[in-house]
A and B are shown apart, each in its own frame.
Chain A
Amino acid sequence: MKRSTLLKSIAAAAVVGAGALAAAPAMSAEVDGVMDDLRVVKIRAGEPITIGVYEVLSGPDTALGLDQWRGIQVAASDAGDKVAGHAIRFLTEDTGCNAEGGQTAATKIAANTQTVIALGGSCSSATTPAAPILWKAGIPNISTSASSPALTAPDRGPGYDGFVRVIYNDNWAGKEVGDWAVNVMGFKRFATIHDGSPYAEKLVRVFQKRLVELGAELVSDEAVSPTDVDMRPVLTKIATSKPDLIYSPTFVAATAYMLRQKTEIAGLEKTMFVGSDASFGAQLLEAAGKDVVGYKITTTAQEVEAQGEGYPAMREKYKEMFGEYPIQGFHGNGYDAFMMAKNAIEKVAVVKDGATYIPIAALTAAVKATKDHNGMTGMLTCDQYGDCAVYKFAVYEFNSDDKSTLEMGKNPKRIYPEKF
């Protein structure tokens, strides 16, 4: 091919490509007479319905994702392992709780054009790049525990139009932590540590903003890298400013390093160390050992009595299926995400000549229109930006490093509020 011809071909391809990209959000489809603004998935009789799942299933944060994946499986079992009359085929991917993992997992799920909806992810770091990849392929996404405010912010961008979540928004969490620390505990001097992840950094920023509003003092604003193991220098720096409380909503590994190494730092003996539910799980007890005692996490209330009415039965079924009681606090979210997806799919599914057709734009609208869904985590209603969760702020404190005692409400024990 001549060079000029080659250049023209490339230019033409670029123009066509750009046109196709620009048209992507407005694409429409018709399959066997079933119309949709986005695309239609046809599931023949006897074929399974495909649902993508992407959670953290390896590394220090495994418990977070595995617990949610188990919650999804309990829900599927409760649904008779069928959605819209079809057996379920889960495409399950591990994100590793990082952006690269989220991107890879979403790309693999998006590559399967039979995927109707995706459930997950567990971490905002992974979900932030994953959700737009899924939506570009016309796959709506119900997140189980990605709580970064940016994911449902009014200016989040069109890539997140197919995204909703059944976890609380950190905007709510960060504000509540600030209120509790200043108004209830009476603390005045604060330090924060984040690990650069969208989850931890945004949560810390909301907390800091609330401190300013309440007239408290931020004496040290620190950050570490997710791969750091030596936290002693950063803790030494914080010790020089003598805070009453260190707020560090980091994940298991980083939190455990801090709890262990905090004891080596002079000047932090009386400083309260508070984290978030991102660090909750049996792995924290293993990793932090006896230094976990006294550590506090803030989260939405997760004891049996604070959950939806069906929760006790779900908990028992979880034990029956996996041989142990829930290993983390977000299995109910996995359950709710699945049930919301199931209800929406069954609402929009069109059955014709033995085949089931799922119009995806209609499915997305149905998911976003979820109202008064009686879930495991409470009564769920989605707002216009995709926040569907119920949030009941609570603070828990660990009282033992014995893994057999791990249970929300017992170890860690709720210290605030006393009653709901």
Chain B
Amino acid sequence: MQKYFDIEFWRRVTYVDVTLWLMRAAVIIVVVWGTIGTLIDGRYSNEQWFDFVMFGLTMGGIYALVALGYTMVYGILRLINFAHGDIFMTGAFTAYFVASPLGKSGFLEENLLISMIIICLTAMVTCVIIALTVERICYRPFRSVRSFAPLICAIGASFFIQHSFRGMYGSSVRAYPDVEFFDKLLSIGSFDFPMIQPVVILAALGSMTGLYLIVMKTRMGTAMRATSEDRDTASLMGIDVNRVIIFTFVLGGSMAGIGGVLYAFVFKQVYFFMGFFPGIKAFSAAVLGGIGNIPGAMLGGFFLGTVESVGPALFLDGLGIVAPYQLRDLIAFTMLVMVLIFRPQGLLGERVSQRA
């Protein structure tokens, strides 16, 4: 606070600073005004607010699982793997061809746990194979090159994967089977929600915890952190950097596989373009949480999902804005920009290595 009373501080203030302050103030005023208006209006019951939060956390859990892949690859390679959203699609789409017959035969309902393991393994194996292929073909040749080539390759890989899968599986929408257990309603007091929602949230939290333990408590995790800190030095210390990078892509691909299956059981539809937008959102979540930071990716995912779900009703309804849900991406990304203005390093900040 002392700095605000220093005349030198005010002399150094630029128009950009003033504009940023005004922007922050404007967004805060809109958010507060809208929130107060919505709450005074009393349109939504407590149960409905609870629903909004659960919807957001479910979506956020999926973003988080995909974001983990982005954040780990960035942490190790300083590379944004733009094809990761499409890798997420490959797992969900391929696993459909396992889930569908399991659903039709009744095996899925009768042996849910075994079926889910089979479906998830199919998705994970597919995602890992595609992720490793992308790494080998698109990223490894450019690993020691400082240019935009890997980024362009990643974007190219994204389109290549989309259209390859369109060619292989067709451009039609496919639907995952309904599972009675997932649709079953759970009640806590007056709050009801289908089983799939806590399943997704817990799966996301469990995956993150497992991943975090791998990175922080295992020899491979130590090697990952060392590689992230300084790849050349890690190599001189006897760490097989190639192996570490492959392991990172395996972990990221596995998370995308689980995320894809959970997404498909929540929203049912899968098709070749389904990974693009969740991929963009998950990447944003990774940046929001602090790219390279595993708990950050998780927090970013849950934050983005919740803002998307709760934001339009909470911030815009009170301002009398018609059809606020069309603006959900705008709200989510405005929040993202605001967070990054206040905390450019993201919510939790730092990379994997620095948190070790």
Contact = CB atoms under 8 A, between A and B. Distances in A.
Nearest to A62: B171
Contact of A233 (B166, B312, B322, B323): B312
A59 to B, nearest CB: 6
Contacts of B268: 256, 260, 287, 289
A264 B325 CA distance: 18
A372 interface: no
B173 A233 contact: no
Contacts of B309: 230, 232-233
A60 B312 CA distance: 27
A298 B309 CA distance: 30
A58 interface: yes
Given A252-B173, A286-B175, A289-B178, A230 B308 contact: yes
A234 B44 CA distance: 12
A289 B309 CA distance: 25
Contact of B326 (A224, A229, A230, A260): A224
A62 B322 contact: no
Interface stretch (B19-27, B122-130, B230-238, B269-277): B269-277
Given A227-B277, A257-B267, A266-B47, A62 B55 contact: no
Given A233-B55, A253-B173, A287 B323 contact: no
A230 B194 CA distance: 15
Interface string B319-355: 0001101101100000000000000000000000000
B56 to A, nearest CB: 8
A59 B172 CA distance: 6
Nearest to A56: B171
B173 A234 contact: no
Given A58-B171, A224-B326, A253-B173, A266 B192 contact: yes
A211 to B, nearest CB: 15
A28 interface: no
B325 A223 contact: yes
A256 B270 CA distance: 12
Which of B173, B194, B313: most chain A Cβ within 10 A?
B173
A147 interface: no
A379 B4 CA distance: 79
Nearest to B305: A230
Interface string A43-80: 00000000000000111101000000000000000000
Question: Interface size for chain A: under 10, 10 to 19, 20 to 34, or 35 or more residues?
Answer: 35 or more
A287 B176 CA distance: 8
A240 B173 CA distance: 31
B175 A236 contact: no
Given A227-B277, A229-B269, A233-B52, A287 B326 contact: no
A304 to B, nearest CB: 26
A295 to B, nearest CB: 15
Interface in B298-325: 308-310, 312-313, 317, 322-323, 325
A228 B166 CA distance: 20
B48 interface: yes
A283 B326 contact: no
A319 interface: no
A240 B48 contact: yes
B83 interface: no
B312 to A, nearest CB: 7
B51 interface: yes
B55 A230 contact: yes
A405 interface: no
A233 B171 contact: no
Interface in B182-207: 192, 194
Contacts of B51: 232, 236, 265-266
B3 interface: no
Given A227-B277, A236-B52, A62 B325 contact: no
A409 B312 CA distance: 40
Contacts of A286: 172-175
Contacts of B271: 59-60
A237 B312 CA distance: 10
Nearest to A230: B59
Contacts of A227: 277
A57 B171 CA distance: 8
Contact of B175 (A59, A234, A289): A289
B43 interface: yes
B74 to A, nearest CB: 25
Interface in B159-178: 166, 171-175, 178
Nearest to B312: A233
A233 B172 CA distance: 26
A230 B273 CA distance: 16
B304 to A, nearest CB: 12
Interface in B59-103: 59
A237 B325 contact: yes
A8 interface: no
Which of A233, A240, A257, A287: most chain B Cβ within 10 A?
A233
Contacts of A260: 267-268
Contacts of A237: 44, 312-313, 317, 325
A251 to B, nearest CB: 11
A283 B173 contact: yes
A253 B277 CA distance: 14
A60 B271 CA distance: 8
Nearest to A288: B175
B182 to A, nearest CB: 11
Nearest to A225: B326
A20 to B, nearest CB: 36
Nearest to B52: A233
B326 A290 contact: no
Which of A222, A228, A287: most chain B Cβ within 10 A?
A287
B158 to A, nearest CB: 16
B58 to A, nearest CB: 8
A279 B150 CA distance: 40
Contact of A221 (B59, B192, B312, B322): B322
Contacts of B269: 60, 229, 253, 256-257, 287
Nearest to B170: A62
A224 to B, nearest CB: 6
A228 B325 CA distance: 10
A264 B47 CA distance: 13
Interface in A235-261: 236-237, 239-240, 252-253, 256-257, 260
B175 A287 contact: yes
A196 interface: yes
Given A232-B55, A260-B268, 13 more contacts: A196-B326, A233-B56, A233-B325, A234-B325, A236-B44, A236-B55, A237-B325, A240-B44, A253-B269, A283-B172, A286-B175, A287-B173, A289-B175
Interface of A: 57-60, 62, 196, 221-225, 227-230, 232-234, 236-237, 239-240, 252-253, 256-257, 260, 264-266, 283, 286-290
6 contacts: A196-B326, A223-B323, A223-B326, A230-B309, A236-B48, A236-B51
6 residue pairs, one from A and one from B, having the closest CB atoms? A223-B323, A223-B326, A58-B171, A234-B325, A232-B55, A287-B173
